[in-house]
Amino acid sequence: MTELTLCLKRAREEVLLALGADSPEDERLHRKRADLLTAEAVRDIDREPDAPHDWSLLATT
């Protein structure tokens, strides 16, 4: 199992990189990474829906 909150935080970073990408290729690359990270997080939640998570780690600073 991956660290769920870390996965989601990295996915958010990839979305931001996609939004600021200099080229369509870079945008697609970052969107794909964000999609894979989000899917991994969703699978983790599906596998262990009652597992505790520290959602405060998602807060931006």
Please state, for a pLDDT cut of 70, what percent of the chain lies above it: 95
pLDDT band at 31 (very low <50, low <70, confident <90, very high): very high
pLDDT, one tens digit per residue, over 32-51 is 999 999 999 999 999 999 99
pLDDT at position 1 over 50: no
pLDDT at position 5 over 70: yes
Take residue 15 and report the two structure tokens written for it.
């979305």
Take residue 18 and report the two structure tokens written for it.
């996609």
Q: What is the mean pLDDT of the chain?
A: 92
pLDDT at position 2 over 50: yes
Q: How far is it, in rounded angstroms, from Cα 52 to Cα 35?
A: 23
